Amino acid sequence: MTGLPLSYDVGSVKRTQSPTYGVWGLRFVALSYLVLFIVVPLVVIQVQGVRYGLDVFWQSVVRPEALSAITLSVYTSAIMAVINTVAGTLTAYVLVRYKFPGKRLFNTLIDLPFAIPTLVIGVMLVVLYGPQTAIGKFFTSELNFRILFATPGIVMALLFVGYPFVIRTVQPVLLQMDASQSEAAQTIGAGAWTTFRRIIFPAIRPAIVTGALLSFARSLGEFGSVIVVAGNIPMRSQTATVYIYTQVEAGNMQAASSVSMVLLLIAFSITVGVDLLQWRRHA
Amino acid sequence: MREISPRSPVAIVLIIVVVAYAGLLFIAPLVAILQGAFADGLEPVLAVFTDPRVQHAFQVTLILSLIATAINAVFGLIAAWVLVRGKFRGKKLFDALVDIPFVFSPVIAGYALIVLFGRDGWLAPPIFSIVFALPGILLAKVFVSVPFVIREVQPVLDALTPEQEEAAYTIGATRFTTFRRVILPEIWTALLYGIVLTFARAIGEFGAVSVVSGNIEGYTETATSFVFRALNDRNDVGGYSVSVVLCLISLVILVLMSFLRGRIVRRGN
């Protein structure tokens, strides 16, 4: 059945091969699975968010604690995205372009954030920058710079979580790039920087943007590492997810739903943006 | 693009900058937690793992993560197949939906489960409880790891040529035999890779699980929730030690991932 034409001409009568019961069955199972685990939670949050009317929804979004939590999440995720876009593009370039000892190990290690519980990332950062270590002491008492329970700690955690995204979207594009173009540019005397800026960068730009957007969306929803590193200080180190968590624990469903809805809307617009980018590239 | 040996000073500086960034980001925290856990030697660490609550937390985590992985492997494979081979209206939409768990905050997913199955939930179950019980944790783990198997298997299925399958049908093979003997060997590595990613995600999940489980000690407490509680209770050695074991598990997962990806690349996918 698969691969065979679904409709074919036999003489003048056009016959269509209809899917068998088995195919219908599999389709039913697959779509129910996607609906139950993806559509239902999505719908539940939207309905719950506006259940008591748009007024109530809006009021619980503009509460100072809620606004400050959403702002903090967007702000820290944006800083992370900028830093990791630069670092990730460089890393991908170095990994594809240069031979160096330990490269395989390094390439393997980049996926660490996908393999490690993010809560553990938070614990590691607390140990590293806590008052009991030399680094922690140096920053808090010498420089009077708070990392833990403050914005820098959140950014550090997000940097860890978001590092692989840009690398893993840019790397395959660089690998597939035709070497002849950049080599031609260099033969006619273009410097390495000019070659990168004029030939390589335009080719990898869509991949960079995709990776950056994905890492940003992922960071907005990050919880495990952030709650450990930042604690839960309203108006100061409470991110949107930590705010939602706190409101659910307190039985404050409306507050939780409204902020959830806002976060989902942002994340959703980003995925749509990424899809449009992919679509434009393939079109 | 071809790989070259770095000759110019700029290239060497670039390599150093990149390795230093990754080192600061990843290696320094890894070293720190090892130091933190073993600050007073091996014995207090070993004592943590004789604690029945810690053993129970690991049991809950491993068993539920395995079940969640199995569910997502079976249904993810079917979904991948339907999304690649099926012809029906709305296929593009369903395909786009698959990525949602990647950006759906786990805390919100956990909250959705509470709205559905909680005490005053829309579908509050009359006989057994889902929220603040093991079924809730399982659902949370399944939800956060839905996309991996689908997204790994899809491109490989898509690249398969139909000739072999058709040949199998021609000589009278049933659908199941064709799947087992023709399709499965081709997608096996990608499927395993997806399974490993699913398991990693399921085992490490904290946000969703912590919202639905209620973190009941010795019952719904998972390994990650144990770490969180240990830190709040100032039981640093406990929290650090369990974290170190979770780190070790993730390093094993990382090695598996790298091995499988190497095989996928060599097959030319």
For A15, phi then psi, to 5°, come to -110, 140
CB proximity A42 to B under 8 Å: yes
Same structural domain, B140 and B103: yes
Alpha carbon distance A228, A123 (integer Å): 6
Q: How far is CA A19 from the centre of its chain?
A: 38
CB of B197 closer than 8 Å to CB of A114: yes
Pick from B194, B190, B184: which is nearest to B146 by CA? B194
Same structural domain, B6 and B54: no
Predicted TM-score (pTM) of this structure:
0.91
Same structural domain, B25 and B50: no
Q: What is the DSSP letter of B64?
A: H
User: Quick one: closest CA in A to B203, which residue?
Assistant: A117
On the 0-12 / 13-18 / 19+ scale of CB atoms within 10 A, A193 is exposed
Q: What is the DSSP letter of A131?
A: T
Considering only residues 129 to 188 of chain B, which have any Cβ-Cβ distance to chain A shorter than 8 Å?
142-143, 146, 161-163, 165-166, 169, 175
Same structural domain, B77 and B8: no
Same structural domain, B112 and B147: yes
Please judge whether A221 and B101 are an interchain contact, meaning their C-beta atoms are less than 8 angstroms apart: no
> Tens digit of pLDDT per residue, chain A (283 long)?
344 444 444 443 433 455 678 888 999 999 999 999 999 999 999 898 888 889 999 999 999 999 999 999 999 999 999 999 999 999 999 999 999 999 999 999 999 999 999 999 999 999 999 877 778 778 877 777 888 889 999 999 999 999 999 999 999 999 988 777 777 777 777 777 888 888 889 999 999 999 999 999 999 999 999 999 998 888 889 999 999 999 999 989 899 999 999 999 998 888 888 878 777 766 5
Which residue, chain included where needed, has tokens 């939590």?
A69
Owning domain of residue B146? 45-267
Which residue, chain included where needed, has tokens 């399944």?
B142
ipTM greater than cut 0.90: yes
CB of A105 closer than 8 Å to CB of A184: no
Alpha carbon distance B261, A111 (integer Å): 12
Please judge whether B101 and A37 are an interchain contact, meaning their C-beta atoms are less than 8 angstroms apart: yes
Chain A hits for B173, Cβ within 8 Å: none
Alpha carbon distance B132, B119 (integer Å): 10
Alpha carbon distance A137, B211 (integer Å): 34
The enclosing domain of B197 has a CATH number of 1.10.3720.10
Beta-bridged to residue A9, according to DSSP, are A14
Same structural domain, B94 and B17: no
Residue B8 half-sphere exposure, CB side, CA atoms within 13 Å?
A: 8
CB of A140 closer than 8 Å to CB of A132: no
Which of the residues A45, A201, A223, A266 would you substitute to probe the B interface, choosing the one with the greatest number of B C-beta atoms within 10 Å? A223
The count of structural domains within chain B is: 2
Give the model's pLDDT for residue B268. 54
Considering only residues 193 to 252 of chain A, which have any Cβ-Cβ distance to chain B shorter than 8 Å?
214, 217-218, 220-224, 227-228, 240-241, 244-245, 248
CA distances from B145 to A46, A82, A224, B4, B141 (A): 21, 27, 16, 38, 7
The C-alpha of A98 sits at a distance from chain B's nearest C-alpha, in angstroms, of 5
Same structural domain, B31 and B52: no
Alpha carbon distance A31, A35 (integer Å): 6
Please judge whether A3 and B165 are an interchain contact, meaning their C-beta atoms are less than 8 angstroms apart: yes
Q: What is the DSSP letter of B98?
A: T
CB of A226 closer than 8 Å to CB of B71: no
Same structural domain, B29 and B105: no
**What number does CATH give the domain A53-282?**
1.10.3720.10
Q: Which two tokens stand for residue A114?
A: 């996908």
CB of A220 closer than 8 Å to CB of A77: yes
Domain residue ranges of chain A, discontinuous segments joined by +: 1-49, 53-282
C-alpha distance across the termini of chain A, in Å: 29
**How many CB atoms lie under 10 A from the CB of residue A187?**
8
- The strand ranges marked E within chain A are 7-10, 13-16
CB of B180 closer than 8 Å to CB of A92: no
The tens digit of pLDDT for each residue in B74-104 reads 999 999 999 998 888 889 889 988 988 888 8
Give the model's pLDDT for residue B59. 96
Same structural domain, B5 and B53: no
Q: Which three-class secondary structure state does DSSP give residue B264?
A: helix
The C-alpha of B108 sits at a distance from chain A's nearest C-alpha, in angstroms, of 6
Same structural domain, B11 and B92: no
CB proximity A91 to B under 8 Å: yes
The C-alpha of A27 sits at a distance from chain B's nearest C-alpha, in angstroms, of 6
